[in-house]
Structure 1
Amino acid sequence: MVEADPPMTAPEDIHLERDVFLRRLLRELAGTLQDVVGLDEASGYISVVGAAMGEHINNEYRRALAVDRLSREQVAAVLVDLKRRIQGDFFVVEEAEDRIVLGNRACPFGEFVLGRPSLCMMTSNVFGSIAAENLGYAGVTLDRTIAQGHAECRVVVHLRPSEHTEPGIREYFRRDDAG
């Protein structure tokens, strides 16, 4: 006697779709890197990916806005807009000649970012590369992050180099100073 296959679980009972799958995949990749090579090295690897993403996103916005370089005001607006498009909830806390301070109430990685601070290098590198490519320099500090267990993120994008090194700052420079 041949046994019948067990009944399939109703699709609505399975919480799996592309977005959740990809966020979980990134969480597991980041966790594996953190466990195998350590947080600093994992952050370095993710920084490389973040820089490539930042270059791509920067090119998309500059093309769409038909400009060679974004102004400081446009950079701030782009940083908020790009995160909104990927379901983050970033907002400008302060904008001055020497810095853009952003807050965030929702990480695009959702709950999958918890315990994976290396994933925050995506934000640092995307923000840093966009600001530096357009304004010449960016120094990014992640003062608070949801990944570290805070309720909200606070990211400072410094637009001028400091005479003294700030703890945790990651610096970014325009790759091609021509133009």
Structure 2
Amino acid sequence: MKPAKEADVGLDRDVFMRALIRELATSLESVVGLEEASGYISLVGQSVGSQLNESYTAALGLPRLGREQVADVLVDLKQRIKGDFYLISQDDEKIVLGSRSCPFAEKVLGRDSMCMMTSNVFGTIAAQNLGYARVELEETIARGHSGCRVVVHLTPDLDVDDEPGREYFGDRHATGSTGAAALPAGD
């Protein structure tokens, strides 16, 4: 009899964690619906975004990142977790990112709520450093696109209720407010 450790089951920590997150998202979506599931995952993404922001600012020895540094950090963090993100463009109004692969790989297909991790991590980091962000997920692998296109808007629109995406507001150090928050914007 062949020992289990010699069986070709394609299982490692990464595959297990991606499967676990997918099944959590699936359970949430089926029990409370896509919108509520996205909200729950948003809370996790916001917390992770704050932790990553603290790690990057400490490692770079800066109290706050500028726009170009924020763009660099967003690409770097996704690259580190095997999301093939790259910078398409950036200016004072927005940072546009693309991706050829998702850190969740095939486990993200059909699970839009999992994209809230990207939205919230990006939005939290941008808002904590630049004061404001609205993250628009124009294209996602979860929705069946060949890649992702994420726009991080850096200036609020007058009629944000009509704009797609989710808004993020910086903490009091960046904006004068008393905390970081994420709000849907006209999804």
Q: How many residues align?
A: 174
Pair 1:41-2:36 in alignment: yes
In the alignment, the residues of structure 2 paired with residue 70 and residue 41 of structure 1 have an alpha-carbon distance, to the nearest angstrom, of: 32
1:119 Cα deviation after fit: 0.4
2:93 pairs with 95, 98, 107, which one? 98
Q: TM-score, normalised by structure 1?
A: 0.93
Work out which of the two has the higher radius of gyration on C-alpha atoms and give 1 or 2: 1
Q: What is the aligned partner in structure 2 of residue 3 from structure 1?
A: none
In the alignment, the residues of structure 2 paired with residue 167 and residue 36 of structure 1 have an alpha-carbon distance, to the nearest angstrom, of: 28
Structure 2 residue identity aligned to 1:158:
H
Structure 2: where are the runs of 5+ without partners?
177-187
1:22 Cα deviation after fit: 0.4
Q: What is the aligned partner in structure 2 of residue 66 from structure 1?
A: 61
In the alignment, the residues of structure 1 paired with residue 72 and residue 46 of structure 2 have an alpha-carbon distance, to the nearest angstrom, of: 19
Moved more, 167-176 or 16-25: 167-176
Moved more, 121-130 or 167-176: 167-176
Q: What is the aligned partner in structure 2 of residue 127 from structure 1?
A: 122
Structure 2 residue identity aligned to 1:137:
Y
1:174 pairs with 163, 170, 175, which one? 170
Equivalent residues in 2 for 1:10-159, closer than 5 Å: 11-159=6-154
Q: What is the aligned partner in structure 2 of residue 8 from structure 1?
A: 3
CA RMSD of aligned residues (A): 1.4
1:98 Cα deviation after fit: 0.7
1:163 Cα deviation after fit: 1.0
Deviations along 1:17-62, whole A, 9 cap, x unmatched?
A: 1110000000000011001100000000000000000000000000
In the alignment, the residues of structure 1 paired with residue 47 and residue 6 of structure 2 have an alpha-carbon distance, to the nearest angstrom, of: 36
In the alignment, the residues of structure 2 paired with residue 113 and residue 142 of structure 1 have an alpha-carbon distance, to the nearest angstrom, of: 14
Deviations along 1:124-170, whole A, 9 cap, x unmatched?
A: 00000000000000000000000000001000000000112244310
In the alignment, the residues of structure 2 paired with residue 60 and residue 120 of structure 1 have an alpha-carbon distance, to the nearest angstrom, of: 22
Query: In percent, how many aligned pairs have the same letter?
Result: 58
Structure 2 residue identity aligned to 1:171:
E
